[in-house]
Structure 1
Amino acid sequence: MSKIPLFLLTGLVVLLVSNVMAASSAARSNLLGAADPKVSGEYAFSQCRALQGKPFASNTQKKKALIVGDSYGCDFLNSVLENGYLKDYQIRVRFIPYSCQTVLGEGSEHFIDAKDRAFCAKPERADSLERAKVQIQEADLVIFSARWKPEIAEELPGTLANLGLKPQQKVVVVGSKFFGKISVREYLRMSDAELKALKNTVDIAEAKTINATLAKNLGNQAAFVDPHALLCGEGARCPLFTDDLKLISYDGRHLTKDGARYVGKVLFEHSALGQM
């Protein structure tokens, strides 16, 4: 067997090390950009704002999909768009801020904190289920995605009943997700292998309890998708990076662009969403 000349072997080692260092440097650069709340925050909401309250077009054969929810609904929209899902649908959004989450029915205003009621009552500031009801009834596919409050999750079956949804409408409820505290300075000191293996321990009440309520109570009213179970498993530890070292969430709750692409693939490939 012929031997590789020493100078060639040395060159190959140098090239390999250089490539590894370049890849690691690129990963750290990507991390800093993705963790910037101004940059990723603008990304998280920009496409959501463009579709908020926009009516369905009548001059197309495409079906109608409506995403109803808060900032987590915007995350879901980004997960769809980053992967090119729901191409057969014209997609619209009804954005209802977290503080304005309510049920549909008598006494619904009592589900909004007193300090938020004036803000939530202004159509130019916040949407509502009551204002969105007509468009919800018009959609072929309705996806509710939110950082669910416990009391809203409890009342969701009644809310769905009061919306007057038709049997032919497809309804999906996407549960809550949470990735815990993000510590960029700490991640910059870690090796690639450590980042890939890194998982945060998250608040079990936020991560699992509300989703368990939704899964138990919805019955056959809607298909339920549990992001925590799909992304983190049955425990309380969630990954922070994709296999190619891309940061999933920039603040523990909302997704980076790479995170939206990653989360979307997981949700659509392992739940009822893939059949839509």
Structure 2
Amino acid sequence: MLRKAAWLLASMVILLSSVAAAAETSANNNLLVAADSKASGEYAFTQCRALQGKPFDTSSTKKKALIVGDSYGCDFLNSVLENKYLQDYQIRLRFIPYSCQTVVGDNSDKFIDAKDRAFCAQPERADSLERAKAQIQEADLVIFSARWKPEIAQELPQTIHQLGLKPQQKVVVVGSKFFGKITVRQYLRMSAEERKALQNEVDSAEAQKINASLAQHLGQSVVFVDPHSLVCGNDASCPVFTDDLNLISYDGRHLTKEGARYVGKMLFEHSALGQM
């Protein structure tokens, strides 16, 4: 009897060890897939490309939502789509690369580095606020989402004013985010508990200072959403993994598929976006 009990116990230990090993292998495989910058980068931009510059369907009874921004705008779009938010809207996007961020007006070129001006002037390669202005004025909901340059963030309240938006249009500005350096080799050596507790130190100037400026100057007519504060709190550190241990960002700036789902829930469940 004792021998049988010992055998059963040993069998259970082996089974549990096998299950744990399989779970760890699966988690590591998921981590490697998510951290693949080529695959995750393709995911990040696929929906962006599909909607870029696409006109609204005038025969649709749905309201119109327009996302205006750079690769962070693509992240926001993925966060919406992964969670099936804004289903009452037909969603479109105008992609303005980070290097081409500018303001509205005759002096807008001064906000673009000289080396980037030729690229940014080509409509087939880079959009602009001037080219997007008519569609912006057509939308019921306009969402500006970008990795804001400090000088563009400072000018944004005046830029929004100059776009000639109507009082009935809803305007949202999504602030910047940064999750710090992603070090996959280090994570592969960590236990599940260590990954769940892991916080990356981040440069406060990267997101927090810009977001603080936006929050202070945008005014009451614009809804401001601070991703850094919602995901990371007020600390100079951010989680690397979701609660169920999926990698949030593959490069510290852009979201994985699971990261988009995670961040989207944070934004819509804990800000005024949930009422849109």
> TM-score normalised to the size of structure 2?
0.96
Equivalent position of 1:80 in the other structure: 80
- Equivalent position of 2:177 in the other structure: 177
User: How far apart, CA to CA, are the structure 1 residues paired with 2:16 and 2:230?
Assistant: 36
Unaligned segments of structure 2, at least 5 residues: none
**Are positions 1:217 and 2:217 aligned together?**
yes
Please name the residue that 1:98 is paired with: 98
The Cα shift of 1:22 comes to 1.4
**Displacement after TM superposition at 1:14 (Å):** 2.9
Query: How far has the Cα of 1:41 moved from its partner?
Result: 0.5
Partner of 2:139: 139
**Once the two structures are superposed, what CA deviation does each residue of 1:43-92 show, in whole Å capped at 9, x if it has no partner?**
00011000000000012111100000000000000000011111111000
Q: Which amino acid aligns with 1:222?
A: V
SS at match of 2:65: strand
Match of 2:49 in 1: 49
The 8 Å contact of residues 66 and 91 in structure 1, kept in 2 or not, is answered as yes
* Corresponding residue number in structure 1 for 2:30: 30
Q: Distance in 2 between matches of 1:117 and 1:110?
A: 9
Residue in 1 aligned with 2:117?
Answer: 117
Q: Which residue of 2 aligns with 1:258?
A: 258
Q: Which residue of 2 aligns with 1:191?
A: 191
* Contact 1:207 1:236 survives alignment (8 Å): no
How far apart, in 2, do the equivalents of 1:165 and 1:7 lie? 75
Count residues in correspondence. Answer: 273
Deviation at 1:7, TM superposition (A): 3.7
TM-superposition CA deviations, 1:188-228 (whole Å, max 9, x none): 11111111111110011012000000000001131000000
CA contact (8 A) 1:70 1:97 kept: yes
Distance 2:13 2:144 in 1: 53
Q: Distance in 2 between matches of 1:18 and 1:86?
A: 43
- Distance, in Å, in 2 between the alignment partners of 1:148 and 1:247 is 24
Tell me, which stretches of 5 or more residues in structure 1 are unaligned?
A: none
CA contact (8 A) 1:63 1:89 kept: yes
Q: CA shift at 1:21, angstroms? A: 1.8
* Contact preservation (8 Å) 1:120, 1:127: yes
Distance in 1, matches of 2:6 and 2:170, equals: 66
RMSD: 1.2
The residue identity in structure 1 corresponding to 2:194 is: E
Q: What do residues 143-191 of structure 1 show as CA deviations (whole Å, max 9, x unaligned)?
A: 0000000000000000000001111111100000001111111111111
Task: Name the residue aligned to 2:69.
Answer: 69
CA distance, structure 1, for counterparts of residue 207 and residue 160 of structure 2: 23
Identity of aligned residues (%): 75
Q: Structure 2: how far apart are the matches of 1:128 and 1:50?
A: 18
After the TM superposition, which parts of structure 1 deviate over 6 Å for at least 4 consecutive aligned residues? none
- The answer to whether the aligner puts 1:243 opposite 2:243 as a matched pair is yes
**What's the offset of the Cα at 1:272?**
0.7
